[in-house]
Structure 1
Amino acid sequence: MKLALVVPGGVDRSGEFRVIPVLLTLIERLARTHEVHVFALHQEAAPGCWELAGATVHNIGDGWTRLRAIAAIRAEHHCAPFDLIQAFFSGYCSLVAVAAAHLLRRPSLVHIAGGELVALHDIEYGGRRTWSSRLREAAVLRAADTVTAASAPIIDSLHALGLEAQRVPLGVDLRAWPPLAPRRRGKGEARLLHVASLNRVKDQSTLLHALAILQRAGVPFRMDIVGVDTLHGEMQRLVQRLGLANQVHFLEFKTQRELRPIMEAADLLVMSSLHEAGPMVLLEAAIAGVPTVGTAVGHLVEWAPSAALAVPPGDPAALAEAVRQVLKDEDLRLRLAWAAQCRATREDARHTERVFERMYRWLCLGSANAGAI
């Protein structure tokens, strides 16, 4: 099959920086047996084209991006027809994919991968904050032939909007990120880890206030925070005000290869997000034998309480108590780790590829039958 994938970005030429690892994994796996063309709306400001993970990346760039993206898909289709068009993330990606598919009379898929269905007005986040965006999403998602999402809470949100959808978790590539059995933690301070860009939706303020509660309770720990700082030092200043400078260490962005040993050294992953469709790092931690405590979003809702502990978003006291509970009970920590690893390995990258390929075949068969009629 010839596939068109529409993405906002995450497919940098380097293959390591400004990328979405799980997306690259899927592209690489699909490109083994299919001709894959990736249309990136805003990877770079200027238009360009390059090879990555066995696929051809068409960067659209700034200026009339949506119209030029549809035109680029049509131009490539005329060179050799696409079998289907799929968007990863809704919003403008799904608008481009569904419009192009309609024009070319090809099936379309949309995978919800972010905050397309939420409206967090306090932090100006989410795809449903304005009437125009709600109208666009409603029209586009209803026009798509198939809608998918990574976790049950997102599927529930789609059902609440009257939209049918299928759950397709974006799994970890076990070759690049091999399983490591959960380990008993050593004596001394607990090694905590947080992996996320520093931004409002990841809510590191709640995380740091939870750590301050642990510190006052006499819990010995070290917290490593990995991620790009988009808040211009705000969280570092909060660390100073809370008296956490000796416990909290900001490690900035790390590539997947750099992240792996940091993950392996951790005793517990701690997440504080206000919203997640996944998160992918939960799956990566599970494969590496590390359990997670976090807010009740995405996969954490699905996994709690047997494979993770989840607390309400924005509640530092509850987050601190859940972390303390896991750190004081090593048997509990290991049970969570083993259960999480079983779930993550069962729904790995190979599983993701197989589910999407079944959908592709079903949609293309339906399209061919419709054409015959």
Structure 2
Amino acid sequence: MRIALVVPGGVDRSGRERVVPVLLALIERLARRHHVLVIAVEHYRDWVQYALLGATVVNLGRVTGAGRAIQWMFRLRRMIAALRSHGKQFDVLHAFWAGSSATLSIAAGRLLRVPVVVSIGGGELVWLPDIAYGGQGSWPGRVKTSLVLRMADAVSAGSQYALKPLIEKRSDALWLPWGVDSKLFDGPPERSPGPPWRLLHVASINRVKDQASLLRAMRLVRDGQDDVTLDCIGEDTLGGHLQRLAVELGLGETVRFHGFKPLDAVVPFYRTAHLYLQSSLHESMAAAVLEAAAAGVPTVGTAVGLIAEMAPKAALAVPVQNPEALAEGILTLLTHEEQRVRLGRAAQAFARTYNADRTAAQFEAVYAQVNGA
């Protein structure tokens, strides 16, 4: 098949920085068996083309000083030109997230008579007014998302949690997690006994991830366990606010902020952690939970994204914005090794079952279906 994947970004030519690992895993597997063109809406400011994991990536770039409508038309024109320049007709366009990547795909698909698949992967179907996050906070956002989902030939979500609001708009929506390369992370669920205890959190520092609640939970954990550390890995988008809060809470030596690290540098953290922690207000899926699971690390986290369905057999779920419940869950698993290892094994089994190979095979089946094959 000839497949075009349309993404906002996350496909840096380095393959290490500014990437979305689950997307790279999918690209690599599809490119082994198909002709794959990846269209990045705005990973780079300028138009650029390069090879990545057996696929060709075309970055559309932008027009300096142009408004949104002109930018969109400019990118649509470039997208259609890129599709036409890569030979005969494509069999499917697959847009990730229901933003500009999806609207461009719907338009190009209509003009070129190519079926379109849309996978939601963010806050398209939610609105969190306290932090002004999500695609449902304005009528243009609601209308755009509804039109995209209605006009796509197939739509999918990466968790039952994200599928629930999607089903209300498309009754035929698919549950299809974006799996990780489980072999890359593989490790035994049994860890060296603590203390010292090593906890891990991998995510950009932003208000949706609610790391403030995570730090308040760590203050409570620290009161119950002296020898515990939390490694936080991810780009800081809040200008050092979280680091200052850690100091205010007396966690300056307990919480270690590492900033961004490429995936190969994160893997050793997964393999030595006793627990993975999630504090998000919303997750469409949470790929880092699957990465931790593949390494045999159980998660204590808020009941959003995959955690909502992995719990109670393969994760320990707690309510959002509840540091006390999060701390209680952490302390429970730290002091009950048998339960911690059992959850780690179940999580690992989940990650191995719904891995990147399965994701690629499932999407191939979807592509064939929308083509009437």
TM class, shorter-chain normalised?
Answer: over 0.9
Which residue in 2 is equivalent to 1:276? 283
Which residue in 2 is equivalent to 1:119? 127
**Could you tell me how far apart the structure 1 residues matched to 2:28 and 2:225 are?**
47
**Could you tell me how far apart the structure 2 residues matched to 1:75 and 1:313 are?**
45
Tell me if the contact between 2:182 and 2:291 (Cα under 8 Å) persists in the aligned partners. Answer: no
**Could you tell me how far apart the structure 2 residues matched to 1:49 and 1:10 are?**
14
State the Cα distance separating 1:162 from its structure 2 match.
4.8
Paired amino acid for 1:20: V
SS at match of 2:33: coil
**Could you tell me how far apart the structure 1 residues matched to 2:210 and 2:129 are?**
14
Matched, 1:66 2:72: yes
Which residue in 1 is equivalent to 2:238? 231
**Could you tell me how far apart the structure 2 residues matched to 1:158 and 1:170 are?**
16
Tell me if the contact between 1:39 and 1:69 (Cα under 8 Å) persists in the aligned partners. Answer: no
**Could you tell me how far apart the structure 1 residues matched to 2:142 and 2:217 are?**
34
Which residue in 2 is equivalent to 1:136? 144
Instruction: State the Cα deviation string for residues 253-283 of structure 1 (Å, max 9, x = none).
Output: 1111101111111100011001111111111
Aligned residues: 365
- Aligned identity (percent) is 45
Which residue in 2 is equivalent to 1:308? 315
SS at match of 2:265: helix
**Could you tell me how far apart the structure 1 residues matched to 2:5 and 2:97 are?**
11
**Could you tell me how far apart the structure 1 residues matched to 2:260 and 2:357 are?**
27
SS at match of 2:127: coil
Which residue in 2 is equivalent to 1:370? none
| Structure 2 unaligned regions, length at least 5 | 64-69
SS at match of 2:198: strand
**Could you tell me how far apart the structure 1 residues matched to 2:236 and 2:80 are?**
38
Which residue in 2 is equivalent to 1:167? 175
Matched, 1:151 2:153: no
SS at match of 2:19: coil
Paired amino acid for 2:91: D
Instruction: State the Cα deviation string for residues 49-97 of structure 1 (Å, max 9, x = none).
Output: 1111111111111234422332233223434211111101111111111
Which residue in 2 is equivalent to 1:261? 268
SS at match of 1:122: coil
Paired amino acid for 1:217: G
SS at match of 1:201: coil
Q: After superposition, where does 1:361-372 map in structure 2 within 5 Å?
A: 361-365=368-372
Matched, 1:97 2:105: yes
Which residue in 2 is equivalent to 1:40? 40
**Could you tell me how far apart the structure 2 residues matched to 1:350 and 1:89 are?**
21
**Could you tell me how far apart the structure 2 residues matched to 1:165 and 1:38 are?**
23
SS at match of 1:324: helix
Q: TM-score, normalised by structure 2?
A: 0.95
Tell me if the contact between 1:225 and 1:249 (Cα under 8 Å) persists in the aligned partners. Answer: yes
**Could you tell me how far apart the structure 1 residues matched to 2:80 and 2:290 are?**
36
State the Cα distance separating 1:34 from its structure 2 match.
1.1
State the Cα distance separating 1:358 from its structure 2 match.
0.7
Where do 4+ consecutive residues of structure 1 move more than 4 Å? none
Tell me if the contact between 1:158 and 1:164 (Cα under 8 Å) persists in the aligned partners. Answer: no
Q: TM-score, normalised by structure 1?
A: 0.95
Identify the match of residue 248 of structure 2 among 225, 231, 241.
241
Which residue in 2 is equivalent to 1:75? 81
Larger mean Cα displacement after TM superposition, 346-355 or 153-162: 153-162
Larger mean Cα displacement after TM superposition, 166-175 or 191-200: 166-175
**Could you tell me how far apart the structure 2 residues matched to 1:212 and 1:103 are?**
56
Identify the match of residue 328 of structure 2 among 321, 326, 344.
321
Instruction: State the Cα deviation string for residues 334-367 of structure 1 (Å, max 9, x = none).
Output: 010000011110111110010000111111126x
**Could you tell me how far apart the structure 2 residues matched to 1:337 and 1:190 are?**
15
Larger mean Cα displacement after TM superposition, 213-222 or 295-304: 213-222
Which residue in 2 is equivalent to 1:11? 11
Tell me if the contact between 2:285 and 2:305 (Cα under 8 Å) persists in the aligned partners. Answer: yes
Larger mean Cα displacement after TM superposition, 141-150 or 55-64: 55-64
Tell me if the contact between 1:4 and 1:73 (Cα under 8 Å) persists in the aligned partners. Answer: no
Paired amino acid for 1:43: H
Paired amino acid for 1:49: Q
Tell me if the contact between 2:94 and 2:117 (Cα under 8 Å) persists in the aligned partners. Answer: yes
SS at match of 1:109: strand
Larger mean Cα displacement after TM superposition, 87-96 or 177-186: 177-186
**Could you tell me how far apart the structure 2 residues matched to 1:46 and 1:171 are?**
31
Tell me if the contact between 1:184 and 1:330 (Cα under 8 Å) persists in the aligned partners. Answer: no
Paired amino acid for 2:4: A
Which residue in 2 is equivalent to 1:106? 114
